[in-house]
């Protein structure tokens, strides 16, 4: 996630970090050069390099804007839903720390149990990051697990879910032993269930991109449109055509590329969500709730980017 | 569901799998040829093949874009809601595996009961696939059922619902026998109820298409518009007209056809949801939760398509 | 609800059932004739029948498209919400059949109580249809009620709500007699409450149309716009003007009329929801859950329409 | 709320009740006259009263349509959310009448308590109307309260909330006296909580208008746009200009004014929600549930308006 | 939040408070002057200061409107979600005051506990304001805390969350001491959990702006578009060009700036939410529920602004 103040007018045009421009620059340059070539060709031999009435392209451009607008909206909704899911996790984890206070109040065995549950909650948050961002540093999870748990973790198909099952097994044992009541069990189970809901929602967003046919159709139309544009503008804009064409291409390709970034909110690009930082924040919150005082600093953005 | 990386610029124009183009190619070719014929006819005998000012069509085109945009949005919402429902099923099934740990902790009878409930949960997921995709392989369900259950299954009106009723009857017996408490019964009943909610939601999406009058109106307008277009472009675009007309037809027919595909998210087309794979994943998750180690591999896309 | 396969290209233009065209044909013909008259008048005496630049109408047409688009979206949302409510009723009724299995498991008195509750649930679904569609056949409800209940039913102000109160009174008696526990009572009460929520939501949709001022404004603008259109097109389109004008009128009037139909999803028009069939399905589902085997067939569409 | 059948074509143009036209007629007349003056001035002295190319205004008009569309959508969402909240209150009140049947079943003290709780529920609905519509007739609340309650009511800061607190205090006393169980208390508390949620939601909608800067920006742009329009149309439309300008002004000012009405759904204008009638309906529903037979008639629209 | 009646037509153009105009005036003046310079330059030496066909800019303008519309919609949704969260807090706090009546009914210890819990609830609301608006007056929180609590508060990482933990610890002690039952504990825990949910939601909105790349792309396009506009209008509008350009710039820059304000609903700008006033209202509501009679007045807007 890009964290920076609103740029002023001058900065506005020189920021590249977080801008989509680096990814689409080659295409824009191609469009610009092509457009310039067409203007030159049209001036040299108007019969060879034809032009046509640009206004007939307006319809296509407007249609494309509407469809791109809807697609970007859908992509943004996924991004924001992903953020909401992680906000939910923050809240459930903190709530879990509060709900387990009642265990602590009931004696030392309860305090140990609480410590255990919160430790596994931290591990769950870190494991979820690893699952959503393949290639992440698994040691952040492993340092929170016991040797036995770590072995299970390594062999599990769904690692984050395993950790939830470890928590539930713990609760089930306490329940069978009569250490916690039916209602307490129910309360804690609901919280663990909510963590599972967050996981399932994140997996859903990660594993189900926007329908491929939709993406493909819009990409193709956007490219064909931008390649046709210079022919339509050569007569009315002349040498202004490459500039206007490049600006339109910047807007359309830019939105298209941004849609791609937002579609996968757990990725590693600058505009993706800072789930790593959120998992660290959850860990710090829980450590504080456990009474630890030697807390690591809150995660800070590096070079305006928080991951 | 199409599973593939974002294509590069060159691939973009040569991908057919998942593209809508195969379904609408005939219509586009017809429009292209018709447009060419009109240009030729207009050149030969302008009095016979009239032209008219294309800008008067812009209005209709923009209106059509807006309405198509709304319709596609609605179709996508159905598609995404279907996916969310199945994500919900994944999470409920996993949660059920956790919640029933408490039964296991209470002795062997409880462990058997848990195994039974999870087996029926797997069967439910597979049965739901069969119900949503008529013609699916019912053996995936039957192999999970006992002979008596299979008989009931074959004669049931609503087969997936029957399996939920089998689970509830099991719970009710345990409850009446005093094996589980009121609260435990309530917790497990809520989970079964959520599975029923997923089923009802999927049935709703499957059985209630977008209002037929709406679909019909947009289809008709889209076709009439694309048939009129060449008359409007023949003067301004000349021989460019067939190409621009075909591009516009590609965009409009393509979005229209995509809307049709997304409207029925449980169908068998490439852009439909991979509910078969999701049911298999649920089964593997539950088998793992039951401690089985000889698990089948996770479902993989074939030829970029996961069904 | 219209139930039919996607029509092919040829059928597309000849389907009238479910199409909105029958309702708006008179208006379209009027517009067509008026437009033809204007073209003729303009050719005969251009000073009397003026024309003006059609492009100045584009703005109004686009604005109208945007507002009609929003309105249709709102109408569709109501329609879909109505469907969701009934899907909710399907699921709650089935869930109720499962939840009451625990009563059955506790002896004969419980089994009778269950039968009674499910019978009233069927009656509730049928009564809700009668309430939402005045003039429906009340005998479908009455045959499910005892003589005493039927008397109460006939005099009740809110008949569907009465049935829910009958169910709750039954439960309250059992609870007071100690036949069911607090938690069981709570579970069953939640289900009955959800049925009440469905009823209240359906009443809300039925009794609160879209703001009248909004509907009026859009109707008026759409009509005035279509009456002005021929004056704007007479110069640029000539004798093509009646056809394009009629096509535009078809699109705008059609969407407007469809919005009206979707706005009242429980009505009796072809595009309305099939709530009668849904109530019958609920009844069949519950009869099956009660172990009846002599079930009526599932409701089938008549002439492509399911009501 | 306007309650009337869909007008036919002729009525369409002569309905004023519920139409927004009375509020915006002065502005439209001003625009019409101004436009006529400009046409006349331009004919007399084209150098003094300039004209300019209207197509450059199209862009502004389309942008304005899009932004007005979004704003109206947001205003409608508020209106519909207000209606949903009141629908929720209807359902909670009826559910409360059902849930308290269990009190009645437990003896006379319970029956008295039930009567008391339902009486306060009626008072709550009426008090909420008074709070949302300052200046309403408070006697509708006071006649439902005891003398002591009425005194508290008159001095309370938040009167509707006071009534909920009276209900909770009643329940708390019964709970402390052991007359109702923990679970029963929880069930009833949830219902009272839902009434509180409805109140808070209505207060939120009433006290937080759409952002003022947004409203201001759109008003200003709409007015400036309509004042510029005649200059842009004078050349192309001539004496048709005042009519088209007035039609466009009618659409834009009308939507703007309607947005204002819908933004405050609890107001007293014709398009506002009929919350007075809803509160009366709730009262009648509860009286019926209490077994009263001498019920007042259901509220009827006066002059097509239900308030 | 701006609190004022709808301005009349004259006021409409002279209100600056709450208007966005003060923030964007410099840019508009620059655009106006630039545009005037271009008109002058074009008249003096048309070869040096070129013009081009403005209609080619329409496409870009419409696309920009659509994307700005979507962005503003997203920003408004965040603003309204923030308001909904605080409405939720109002309702939970009042509900908490009702739910704890049962403690009061059980004797003096319970009454003390209730007073304590409500005091901490007030402190939570004030602490949340301080957390969302850095630099707020912390004394509003501290005066509500005991010395011991204040010490913990000052050293806590997440101060609002600490207060919730203090409440839960209180409850856990009472629960362990047997003063409250399982169900009571569950009810109160759910309410505290909802306060935590509000906090997490507000933190999410505050800490996660709209994707930076999206904001950047729209800013850049809006500025480039407005700088190009005068070149496109110089021919068709002449000296009218600076005025129309400035009006368009006002609309686009204004919406852009408003989107920025709404994006951060907890900020200190006039269009931000009045969360300070809401926290004060919650405090007054709770003081009233505790039976205090010497209540401070409700917060009033200063100079039309409520913060």
DSSP states along C174-194: HHHTTSS-HHHHHHHHHHHHH
Distance (Å, rounded) from C-alpha D149 to C-alpha A112?
Answer: 51
Of all helices (H) and strands (E), which one includes residue A135? none
In a domain, E90, yes or no: no
CB C205 within 8 A of CB D84: no
Q: Best mutation site among A200, A226, A236 for testing chain B: the one with the most B CBs within 10 Å?
A: A200
**Percentage of chain E lying above the pLDDT 90 cut:** 49
pLDDT tens-digit profile of D38-68? 999 988 887 777 777 766 788 888 889 989 9
With a cut of 80, say whether residue B4 has pLDDT above it. Answer: no
Residue A111 in tokens: 């305090």
| CA dihedral (D18, D20, D23, D25) positive or negative | negative
A290-294, D59-63, D123-127: range with highest mean pLDDT: D123-127
Q: Best mutation site among A77, A210, A212, A269 for testing chain B: the one with the most B CBs within 10 Å?
A: A212
Instruction: Name every chain B residue with its beta carbon within 8 A of the beta carbon of C102.
Output: 168, 171-172, 175-176, 185
Residue D161 in tokens: 């909330």
CB E215 within 8 A of CB E75: no
**Three-class SS of residue E171?**
helix
Residue A129 confidence (pLDDT): 96
Say whether both E52 and E128 belong to one domain: no
pLDDT tens-digit profile of A11-48? 777 776 667 788 889 889 999 999 999 999 988 887 77
Interchain contact, C211 vs D261, CB within 8 Å? yes
Residue E127: domain span:
100-208+274-289
Interface of D with E in 43-102 (CB under 8 A): 50, 52-53, 55-60, 62-64, 66-67, 69-70, 74
Distance (Å, rounded) from C-alpha C2 to C-alpha C307?
Answer: 9
pLDDT bracket for residue B18 (50, 70, 90): low
Q: What is the distance in angstroms between the Cα of E277 and the nearest Cα belonging to chain A? A: 25
A118-132, B260-274, E42-56: range with highest mean pLDDT: A118-132
What's the distance, Cα to Cα, between the start and end of chain E in Å?
6
> Hunting for tokens 């991979």 — which residue is that?
B274
Say whether both E136 and E259 belong to one domain: no
Phi, psi of D7 (to 5 degrees): -70, 150
Of all helices (H) and strands (E), which one includes residue D95? helix D55-99
Among C208, C224, C254, which residue terminates a domain? C208
Say whether both C191 and C114 belong to one domain: yes
Mean pLDDT over each residue of chain A, to the nearest integer: 89
Residue E129 confidence (pLDDT): 96
In a domain, C302, yes or no: no
Q: How many CB atoms lie within 10 A of CB D297?
A: 8
With a cut of 70, say whether residue C121 has pLDDT above it. Answer: yes
Instruction: Name every chain E residue with its beta carbon within 8 A of the beta carbon of A288.
Output: 156-158
DSSP notation for B20-75: SHHHHHHHHHHHHHHHHHHHHHHHH-TTTS----THHHHHHHHHHHHHHHHHHHHH
Residue D7 in tokens: 């007008």
User: Mean pLDDT across the stretch A144-149?
Assistant: 95
Q: Where are the alpha helices (DSSP H) in B100-146?
A: 101-104, 108-132, 139-142
Q: Where are the alpha helices (DSSP H) in E47-107?
A: 55-99, 101-104
Residue A140 in tokens: 């952040």
Residue A272 in tokens: 């993706």
Residue C77 confidence (pLDDT): 95
With a cut of 70, say whether residue B47 has pLDDT above it. Answer: yes
DSSP notation for D45-85: -TTTS----THHHHHHHHHHHHHHHHHHHHHHHHHHHHHHH
Say whether both D104 and D203 belong to one domain: yes
pLDDT bracket for residue E290 (50, 70, 90): very high
DSSP notation for D232-276: HHHHHHGGGHHHHHHHHHHHHHHHHHHHHHHHSTTSSSTTS--HH
In a domain, B167, yes or no: yes
Say whether both D250 and D201 belong to one domain: no
pLDDT tens-digit profile of E82-100? 999 999 999 999 999 999 9
Say whether both E282 and E166 belong to one domain: yes
With a cut of 70, say whether residue B62 has pLDDT above it. Answer: yes
Query: Which residues partner with B305 through β-bridges?
Result: B2, B302
Q: Best mutation site among E6, E85, E230 for testing chain D: the one with the most D CBs within 10 Å?
A: E6
pLDDT bracket for residue D18 (50, 70, 90): low
Residue B196 in tokens: 């029923």
Residue E119 in tokens: 């005091």
Q: What is the distance in angstroms between the Cα of E108 and the nearest Cα belonging to chain D? A: 13
In a domain, B279, yes or no: no
Interchain contact, D60 vs E248, CB within 8 Å? yes
Residue C270 confidence (pLDDT): 84
What's the distance, Cα to Cα, between the start and end of chain D in Å?
6
Residue E74 confidence (pLDDT): 93
Say whether both E123 and E187 belong to one domain: yes
pLDDT tens-digit profile of E37-76? 999 998 888 877 777 776 678 888 888 998 998 999 999 9
Task: Please state the separation of Cα C23 from the chain's center in Å.
Answer: 18
Mean pLDDT over each residue of chain D, to the nearest integer: 89
Interface of A with E in 212-271 (CB under 8 A): 233, 236-238, 240, 244, 247-248, 250-252, 254-255, 258, 261-262, 270-271
Q: Which residue from D55, D70, D189 is facing E187, i.e. has the nearest CB?
A: D189
Q: Which residue from D6, D13, D251 is facing C60, i.e. has the nearest CB?
A: D251
Q: Best mutation site among E216, E221, E236 for testing chain A: the one with the most A CBs within 10 Å?
A: E216
Interchain contact, C228 vs D244, CB within 8 Å? yes
Q: At what angle do helices D108-132 and D159-176 cross, to 10 degrees?
A: 160
Q: Which residue from B59, B211, B223 is facing C12, i.e. has the nearest CB?
A: B223
Residue A148 confidence (pLDDT): 94
Task: Please state the separation of Cα B36 from the chain's center in Å.
Answer: 38
Domain count, chain B: 2
pLDDT tens-digit profile of E141-162? 999 999 999 999 999 989 999 9
Mean pLDDT over each residue of chain C, to the nearest integer: 89
In a domain, E89, yes or no: no
Instruction: Name every chain E residue with its beta carbon within 8 A of the beta carbon of D215.
Output: 6
Q: Which residue from C20, C64, C289 is facing B213, i.e. has the nearest CB?
A: C20
Residue A75 confidence (pLDDT): 93
Of the candidates C66, C34, C88, the residue with the CA atom closest to the CA atom of residue C198: C88
User: Mean pLDDT across the stretch D232-252?
Assistant: 85
Q: What is the distance in angstroms between the Cα of E157 and the nearest Cα belonging to chain D? A: 31
Q: What is the distance in angstroms between the Cα of E160 and the nearest Cα belonging to chain D? A: 22
Residue A18 confidence (pLDDT): 67
Residue of E nearest to D198 (CA): E91
Task: State ipTM.
Answer: 0.93
Burial degree of E65 (CB within 10 A; 0-12, 13-18, 19+): buried
CA–CA distances in Å: residue D76 to residues E74, E75, E194 = 16, 17, 28
User: C with D: how many residue pairs have Cβ under 8 Å apart?
Assistant: 186
Distance (Å, rounded) from C-alpha A52 to C-alpha D22?
Answer: 49
Interchain contact, A18 vs E69, CB within 8 Å? no
Say whether both A64 and A117 belong to one domain: no
Interchain contact, A273 vs E208, CB within 8 Å? yes
pLDDT bracket for residue C117 (50, 70, 90): very high
Residue D68 in tokens: 């007005």
User: Mean pLDDT across the stretch E120-147?
Assistant: 94
pLDDT tens-digit profile of E170-209? 999 888 888 888 888 999 999 999 999 999 999 999 999 9
Q: Which residue from D27, D56, D185 is facing E102, i.e. has the nearest CB?
A: D185
pLDDT bracket for residue A283 (50, 70, 90): very high
Instruction: Name every chain C residue with its beta carbon within 8 A of the beta carbon of D267.
Output: none
In a domain, E7, yes or no: no
**Percentage of chain A lying above the pLDDT 90 cut:** 49
Residue A275 confidence (pLDDT): 95
Instruction: Name every chain C residue with its beta carbon within 8 A of the beta carbon of B170.
Output: none
Q: Best mutation site among A175, A201, A213 for testing chain B: the one with the most B CBs within 10 Å?
A: A213
Distance (Å, rounded) from C-alpha D292 to C-alpha E288?
Answer: 35
Instruction: Name every chain E residue with its beta carbon within 8 A of the beta carbon of D220.
Output: 12-13, 250
Q: What is the distance in angstroms between the Cα of D214 and the nearest Cα belonging to chain E? A: 7
pLDDT tens-digit profile of E237-273? 788 888 888 989 998 998 888 888 899 999 888 889 9
Burial degree of E296 (CB within 10 A; 0-12, 13-18, 19+): exposed
CA–CA distances in Å: residue E60 to residues C97, C197, D42, D59, D222 = 59, 48, 32, 10, 21
CA–CA distances in Å: residue A211 to residues A112, A259, B6, B263, E75 = 48, 13, 12, 12, 26
Say whether both C60 and C203 belong to one domain: no
Residues contacting B243, CB < 8 A, separation 6+: B32
Q: Could you give the dihedral angle defined by the CA atoms of residues A70, A71, A77 and A80, in that order, rounded to the nearest 10 degrees?
A: -130
Q: How many residues does chain E have?
A: 307
Distance (Å, rounded) from C-alpha C28 to C-alpha D251?
Answer: 22
With a cut of 90, say whether residue C306 has pLDDT above it. Answer: no
Say whether both A175 and A113 belong to one domain: yes
With a cut of 70, say whether residue D80 has pLDDT above it. Answer: yes
Count Cβ neighbours within 10 Å for each residue of B170-205 and write b for 16 or more, e otherwise: bbbbbbbeebbebbbbbbbbbbbbbbbbbbbbbbbb
With a cut of 70, say whether residue D37 has pLDDT above it. Answer: yes
Q: Which residue from A175, A189, A200 is facing B105, i.e. has the nearest CB?
A: A175
Q: How many residues does chain B have?
A: 307
With a cut of 80, say whether residue A9 has pLDDT above it. Answer: no
Chains that contact E by 3+ CB pairs under 8 Å?
A: A, D
**Three-class SS of residue A305?**
strand
Question: When comparing pLDDT for C3 and B182, which is higher?
Answer: B182
Say if A196 is an interface residue toward chain B (CB within 8 Å).
Answer: yes
Instruction: Name every chain C residue with its beta carbon within 8 A of the beta carbon of D66.
Output: 66
pLDDT tens-digit profile of C157-206? 899 999 999 999 999 988 888 888 888 899 999 999 999 999 999 999 99
In a domain, E143, yes or no: yes
With a cut of 80, say whether residue E6 has pLDDT above it. Answer: no
Residue E115 confidence (pLDDT): 95
Q: What is the distance in angstroms between the Cα of E128 and the nearest Cα belonging to chain A? A: 14
CB D57 within 8 A of CB D228: yes
Instruction: Name every chain D residue with its beta carbon within 8 A of the beta carbon of E57.
Output: 59
CB B169 within 8 A of CB C104: no
Distance (Å, rounded) from C-alpha A272 to C-alpha A202?
Answer: 13
User: Mean pLDDT across the stretch D261-276?
Assistant: 90
Interface of A with E in 104-123 (CB under 8 A): 104-106
In a domain, B277, yes or no: no
With a cut of 90, say whether residue A77 has pLDDT above it. Answer: yes
Q: How many CB atoms lie within 10 A of CB A33?
A: 12
Say whether both C109 and C255 belong to one domain: no
Say if B273 is an interface residue toward chain A (CB within 8 Å).
Answer: yes
Q: Best mutation site among C69, C285, C295 for testing chain B: the one with the most B CBs within 10 Å?
A: C69
Interchain contact, A211 vs B101, CB within 8 Å? no
Residue of E nearest to A70 (CA): E70
Query: Which residues partner with A302 through β-bridges?
Result: A305
Say whether both E199 and E215 belong to one domain: no
Interchain contact, B236 vs A56, CB within 8 Å? yes
Interchain contact, A196 vs B95, CB within 8 Å? yes
3-state helix, strand, coil in chain E (%, to 5): 75, 0, 25
């Amino acid at each position: 996630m890009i964290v920076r103040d609103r740029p002023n007018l001058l900065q506005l045009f020189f920021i590249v970090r977080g801008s989509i421009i680096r990814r689409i620059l080659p295409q824009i340059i191609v469009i610009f050069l092509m457009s310039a070539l067409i203007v030159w060709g049209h001036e040299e031999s108007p019969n060879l390099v034809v032009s046509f009435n640009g206004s007939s392209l307006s319809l296509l451009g407007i249609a494309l804007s509407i469809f791109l607008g809807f697609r970007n909206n859908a992509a943004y909704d996924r991004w924001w839903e992903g953020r909401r899911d992680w906000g939910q996790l923050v809240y459930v984890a903190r709530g879990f720390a509060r709900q387990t206070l009642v265990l602590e109040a009931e004696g030392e065995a309860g305090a140990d149990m609480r410590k255990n549950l919160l430790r596994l909650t931290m591990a769950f948050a870190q494991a979820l990051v690893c699952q959503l961002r393949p290639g992440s540093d698994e040691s952040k999870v492993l340092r929170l697990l016991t040797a036995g748990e770590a072995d299970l973790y390594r062999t599990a198909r769904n690692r984050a879910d395993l950790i939830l099952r470890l928590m539930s097994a713990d609760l089930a044992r306490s329940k069978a032993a009569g250490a916690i009541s039916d209602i307490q069990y129910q309360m804690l189970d609901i919280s663990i269930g909510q963590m599972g809901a967050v996981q399932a929602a994140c997996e859903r967003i990660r594993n189900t991109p926007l329908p491929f046919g939709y993406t493909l159709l819009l990409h193709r139309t956007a490219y064909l449109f931008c390649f046709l544009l210079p022919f339509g503008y050569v007569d009315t804009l002349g040498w202004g055509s490459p500039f206007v064409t490049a600006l339109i291409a910047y807007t359309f390709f830019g939105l298209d590329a941004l849609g791609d970034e937002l579609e996968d909110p757990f990725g590693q690009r600058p505009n993706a969500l800072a789930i790593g930082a959120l998992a660290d924040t959850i860990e710090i919150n829980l450590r504080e709730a456990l009474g630890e005082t030697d807390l690591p600093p809150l995660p800070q953005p590096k070079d305006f980017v928080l991951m």
